[in-house]
Structure 1
Amino acid sequence: MKWKKFKIKTVTEAEDIIISTLYDIGLEGAQIEDKVPLTAAEKEQMFVDILPDGPEDDGIAWLSFFVEETEDGRLQVNGEDTDEKAVMASVRKELEELRAFCDIGEGSIEVEETEDIDWINNWKQYFHQFYIDDLLVIPSWETVEEEDQGKMVLHIDPGTAFGTGMHETTQLCIRQLKKYVTPDTVLLDVGTGSGILGILALMFGAQRVVGTDLDICAVEAVRENLESNHIDPENFEMMIGNIITEKEIQDRVGYGCYDIVAANILADVLVALSPVIVNQMKPGGIYITSGIIDDKEAVVVEAVKAAGLEVLEVAHQGEWVGVTARKPV
């Protein structure tokens, strides 16, 4: 399938009104390109600790709208056939009417043809099987090679949830799980994503896992990865919500009942999580954390200690840090 891309050069102040106006004529779903700095709330939702400084905001915005093109070159808008000339005429008319009462900047229009891209699956071309020490991590669309038969194999497909095992922070957590998981372990995985840490805990012999996440996509990702690894879903319970701020989630998760808590999330989140999650841990329970960029190490270590936990180990891989601690008996 092909698409016609109509790209409008405007100003940032006019983004919303142009998008709304063109929506009314059947052009839905705009792609926005501008240099407006991210807000603090937007940065929090991006699940990254450090963002590079962007270019200075010049007030210019590019709005792109995509119209489906049939094999014979016709365009589809509002379920009806049209063509590029008619769409251009409609867009120009709407822009000129807007220009009469607000600044829309240049208001020029470019047209490009683009191939249909499967954004959900396109990343798979970059994700191939790899080893974490003696553990083979393999995506669900690849097969185990003959020479790898008999190895411990984790089949993983993150879908739209976070967690393939390639990142240093995930590997730091995995190594700690191998040290501390026993057949009696009940584990809480905060920010479970694809379920990789909880699933590996079960493969290492843990008895049961509870995972929490903010993203509903994690539920399906975990279900699929449990199935791919032939693990009984009864042993992995998922809960969606914020365990730091939601008392209901804290109550559902339970208190004083976890041998290990794993949290591979951002340093600032770990600071807020540590004094809360200590209540979910058994006396003597292990707290395995990562997602910590190296210049945030001291902040997290201090927060862990302030929560009454004993720091057992601080591990490094590249520029990332893992902190493992124990709750006093």
Structure 2
Amino acid sequence: MKWIKFTLDTTTEAVDFISLMLSELGIEGIEIEDNVGLTDEEKKQMFVDILPITEVDDKTAKVNFYVDPTTDVESLLLKIRQGLNDISEFASIGRGTIDISETEDKDWMNNWKKFFKPFRIDDTIVIKPTWENLTDSKPDDLIIEIDPGISFGTGSHETTKLCIIGIKKYIKPGDYILDAGSGSGILSIVANKLGAGHVLGIDIDPVATKSAIENAGVNNINSKEWKLQDQEELPSTPITFATGNILEDDKVRSRIGKEKYDLVVANILADVIIPLSDVIGENMKKGAIFICSGIIDTKEEEVKASLEKNNFTILEVNRMGDWVSFISKK
């Protein structure tokens, strides 16, 4: 069916107030367009190392929302305009104009899935979305099923491929693995399938932790969430996922274990890998392997210098497109 689309021209100052007002009117799922730059915290959580290009922030914003065609549009507009009038008493609402148009019904949350198809990492590792059928599998294929949900990391990105290739080359049976910035859990799952003794995936986003546990289950792997603030010991499940900041929280690094891991993998921003290399060595055994990716080629020398400064011996530098992965040894 078709939906009625409203586009409200306003200011970034008023966006939060307008969002609350629309929510109180029973409108959900609003869409905000603005040129506000990303915060440092948002950059840390991004999967890629290239930030979106935006125009100069002129403090304007558009708020889009959709209603059923049976809605009494005149009555709704009256309420919205009254709400805008109330907001204008303590915040600038800018133009405050409302444009109305019609749009086709879309599954906004799932529309992206049509672009995510099964693909091969190499001759034997296949990444398959949970909603797709695999038609060209081989008897010796290692098939990983994944549903990234709203967390990052489908496996199709070059940086993830570089990490998987590195894990496959350097993992040894029974190894203890730390997946720093585990996202959807794809690297943790791959490490388990390749023979890890235990994998701990840790991410600063609790939504990612939930998604990773679900993806482990899809792949018939028993996993559990480890709440770092509790006193319980590390669960004995093949994979454990936790929410915490290993970069900035000394207590988290102590909690997950010093000199414990045979291999650490981090597929995150170069600007996070650089400070991470200052501290992650304390969680690694002597001779352990550190695989890091998510590094745009313009950041290669900075990451290299940081690894060498922290006494990592660089074993390999691998590239795919504009992306770089370092494999180093403690």
Quickly name the TM-score band, shorter chain normalised: 0.7 to 0.9
Q: Which residue number in structure 1 is paired with residue 70 of structure 2?
A: 74
Aligned CA distance change for structure 1 residues 249 and 117 (closer, same or farther; 3 Å): farther
Q: What code does the residue aligned with 2:130 have? A: S
| 1:120-269 correspondence to structure 2 within 5 Å | 120-134=109-123, 135-145=125-135, 147-233=137-223, 234-269=237-272
**Structure 1 length as normaliser, TM-score?**
0.86
Q: What code does the residue aligned with 2:32 have? A: I
Q: List runs of 5+ in structure 2 lacking aligned partners.
A: 224-236
Pick aligned residue for 2:101 from 91, 107, 112: 112
Q: CA deviation at 1:51?
A: 2.4
Does the CA contact (< 8 Å) of 2:46 and 2:269 recur in 1?
Answer: no
In the alignment, the residues of structure 2 paired with residue 223 and residue 37 of structure 1 have an alpha-carbon distance, to the nearest angstrom, of: 32
Question: Could you tell which deviates more after superposition, 43-52 or 294-303?
Answer: 43-52
In the alignment, the residues of structure 2 paired with residue 307 and residue 245 of structure 1 have an alpha-carbon distance, to the nearest angstrom, of: 17
Aligned CA distance change for structure 1 residues 95 and 151 (closer, same or farther; 3 Å): closer
Q: CA deviation at 1:168?
A: 0.7
Aligned residue for 1:278, secondary structure, equals: helix
Does the CA contact (< 8 Å) of 2:261 and 2:288 recur in 1?
Answer: yes
What is the aligned-residue RMSD (CA, Å)?
2.4
Q: CA deviation at 1:30?
A: 4.0
Q: Does 1:271 pair with 2:261?
A: no
In the alignment, the residues of structure 2 paired with residue 225 and residue 104 of structure 1 have an alpha-carbon distance, to the nearest angstrom, of: 43
Aligned residue for 2:133, secondary structure, equals: coil
Q: Deviations over 1:54-111 (max 9, x none)?
A: 22334432222333x2xxx432xxxxxxx11111122233445655776533322112
In the alignment, the residues of structure 1 paired with residue 306 and residue 267 of structure 2 have an alpha-carbon distance, to the nearest angstrom, of: 15
**Structure 2 length as normaliser, TM-score?**
0.86
Q: CA deviation at 1:223?
A: 2.2
Does the CA contact (< 8 Å) of 1:120 and 1:160 recur in 2?
Answer: no
Aligned residue for 1:87, secondary structure, equals: helix
Does the CA contact (< 8 Å) of 2:202 and 2:209 recur in 1?
Answer: no
Aligned CA distance change for structure 1 residues 276 and 74 (closer, same or farther; 3 Å): same
Q: List runs of 5+ in structure 1 lacking aligned partners.
A: 76-82
Question: Could you tell which deviates more after superposition, 53-62 or 266-275?
Answer: 53-62
Q: What code does the residue aligned with 2:152 have? A: F
Percent identical: 45
Q: CA deviation at 1:293?
A: 0.5
Aligned CA distance change for structure 1 residues 17 and 157 (closer, same or farther; 3 Å): closer
In the alignment, the residues of structure 1 paired with residue 157 and residue 65 of structure 2 have an alpha-carbon distance, to the nearest angstrom, of: 34
Q: CA deviation at 1:199?
A: 1.2
Does the CA contact (< 8 Å) of 2:14 and 2:87 recur in 1?
Answer: no
Q: Does 1:287 pair with 2:277?
A: no
Aligned CA distance change for structure 1 residues 269 and 58 (closer, same or farther; 3 Å): closer
Number of residue equivalences: 316
